[in-house]
Amino acid sequence: MSIKKLKATEKEIATYFKNPNIYFIASSKGCSCEFRIAMERELGFDIPKDWYPESKDQIDGTKLIYQLIKETLKHAEKIELLSIWNDHIGNKITKEHISLKEVPENKFRMFEDMMFICRNLIL
């Protein structure tokens, strides 16, 4: 996993965020495609299922994001986590407040065109 500060050429994405500190989280392949990302929110948070194949890299990478959020929230008021494809920039996104106390690590995943707002919690 790599974490990079947003580039000047990527500033259009910044309009989605309230927090001025914006980073791009990439998998070992340099993109976000190797994380657990579901197309529809209706699938909910859940463990990997046989009928919805997810690779070990997707599962392990998403666990790292979860741990990063959990650790960062010990020192930050909130984290905004956006899952959006480059060709979707400009699309309307859905925002949802989530609590890591209610979403365990093994069920955590992201959803296309959705921003999670995670507040500072004692975990």
**Mean per-residue pLDDT, 27-50:** 87
What is the reported pLDDT for 12? 84
Instruction: Count Cα neighbours of 66 within 13 Å in the Cβ-side half-sphere.
Output: 23
- Residue 58 pLDDT more than 60? yes
Grade residue 122 by pLDDT with cuts at 50, 70 and 90.
low
What is the reported pLDDT for 8? 72
Task: Write down the pTM of the prediction.
Answer: 0.88
Q: How many domains does the chain have?
A: 1
Residue 56 lies in domain: 2-119
**Mean per-residue pLDDT, 63-91:** 89
Q: How many residues does the chain have?
A: 123
Residue 56 neighbours by CB distance under 10 Å: 8
As a whole number of angstroms, the distance between CA 56 and CA 50 comes to 13
- Residue 121 pLDDT more than 70? no
